Chains A and B, each alone.
Chain A
């Protein structure tokens, strides 16, 4: 992590103030190229805010965010966000929502392929208000993958899914991130999901407190995944001063 050339996202001393409310205070975080980072923490802890800052949609009150060594405001095209709310445009069909940036047929084909991946090919001509919550989330996920980004920010992408689809989508995301060598930040409330997917887990508490842990070395080993999940959970619950501990 000390090797500067490998650092994709570099967040230093970020402070974000909304009127009276301090959303983020003295946050430092570096994410390496190709790393899969999970961000967990209590509701209102500033996770979505941090993602918006990284995406350059808002500016921090103080501190600096560099993406690939460049300050955020001019590195937008590297970053794609999948927002916490699906933000699908209700006046466009599912397919149009994916290919709304251009009408090229290649774009359309790419959209159809992605819909196939998220198992929604039959819904291409539906409007968002004809879909279930989980289906909308999957469309939003597909949209985030439309333009090949370098950094993928996922804000609770799988919240509304049943266990089976959730597992499938986790694998899909891991697969795509690995193949395209994406640097990923995943916000989730599910510690098991975090433990299962991430290389590193950061616990955010009340704007200031930060705890980190290393993910399991073997994702397919349920014992290791469970162990990491337990530690993350205790970090959330106890405010235990467990900074950066390794799994056995």
Chain B
């Protein structure tokens, strides 16, 4: 401690530089790629029919935004994604919850669910199109099926692996069943449940993109597929960039939830001193 006090004037001078570096570092590689990409296009090393320049993609993005086409497709995709996730996530959570808590339900449902889980849900696309056509319900169902399993498995395991010592403690303090769930089981399982939700977010986008590419008349996946038919390279690249951004945003939202709900995990001893 004493030593640190002596060294502190130097440290306080260095700190701001270190922090700004830490903030800049993650952007270095993406920026370099974009610069090299732009320069190669400008110098004619990259033909625009193979890969249009970032600038052209940006211009295309602006045009499509102003015409309203991008916002419209984006919002319909977001709608499908959220509704699908809400339905699938809720079913997965409820099943994981009851199977985790009740031995009877576990025996009844778990092996069937595990069997179902091993079918790649994208393999259901032809079946779902035959059953539900290419309307909204087809896409939403696919997303729901895809996101249900990661949420189910993680909720189930989260609840099953709650520390037995905590449960015994709750029993010895005579907690009621609801108290036991609210105060001990749910908070103990929450980190694992959130892992499931984060994983489900990834599945959500992949499923939606594939579904929209194969059969849709709107959405980002449709936009990409349509652009492909017209060899509109700028829009194809734009859609890929939009996916990347959407994926990143959902990851950030999930992380935000985690640090909000699990602040007890991150409150390290170092913060106190």
Residues of chain A touching chain B, judged by Cβ–Cβ distance below 8 Å, are 52, 55, 57, 76-77, 79-81, 83, 85, 87, 89-92, 100-101, 126-127, 129-130, 147
Contacts and interface: CB of A to CB of B under 8 A. Distances in A.
A130 B173 contact: no
Contacts of A101: 173, 175, 179
B267 A127 contact: yes
A100 B184 CA distance: 10
Contacts of B11: none
Contacts of B168: 52, 57, 83, 87
Contacts of B188: 91
B267 A129 contact: yes
Contact of B169 (A76, A87, A90): A87
B269 A83 contact: no
Contact of A129 (B172, B174, B179, B264): B264
A76 B262 CA distance: 33
Contacts, number: 52
Tell me the dominant secondary structure on chain A's binding face. Answer: loop
Contacts of B247: none
Given A55-B172, A80-B172, A89-B166, A126 B272 contact: yes
A100 B172 contact: no
Interface string B261-273: 0101101110110
Most buried by A among B171, B183, B188, B271: B183
Contacts of B262: 91
Interface in B116-168: 165-166, 168
A89 B182 CA distance: 12
Tell me the dominant secondary structure on chain B's binding face. Answer: helix
A147 B172 CA distance: 12
Nearest to B187: A91
A16 B253 CA distance: 51
B272 A130 contact: yes
A80 B172 CA distance: 7
Interface in B172-192: 172-175, 179, 183-184, 187-188, 190
Q: Which 7 A-B pairs have the closest CB atoms?
A: A91-B187, A87-B169, A91-B264, A127-B264, A127-B267, A81-B172, A130-B269
Given A87-B169, A126-B272, A129-B267, 17 more contacts: A52-B168, A57-B171, A76-B172, A80-B172, A81-B172, A83-B165, A83-B168, A85-B165, A87-B168, A89-B183, A90-B265, A91-B188, A92-B183, A101-B179, A127-B264, A127-B267, A130-B271
A50 B272 CA distance: 39
Contacts of A89: 166, 183-184, 187
B173 A90 contact: no
A94 to B, nearest CB: 12
Contacts of A100: 173, 183
B264 A90 contact: yes
A153 B159 CA distance: 29
Contact of B269 (A55, A87, A91, A129): A129
12 contacts: A76-B172, A76-B174, A79-B172, A83-B165, A87-B168, A91-B264, A101-B173, A101-B175, A127-B267, A129-B265, A129-B269, A130-B268
A79 B173 CA distance: 9
Contacts of B187: 89, 91
A91 B190 CA distance: 10
Interface string B238-273: 000000000000000000000000101101110110
A77 B165 CA distance: 19
A1 B183 CA distance: 42
Contacts of B268: 129-130
Contacts of B173: 80, 100-101, 147
Nearest to A81: B172
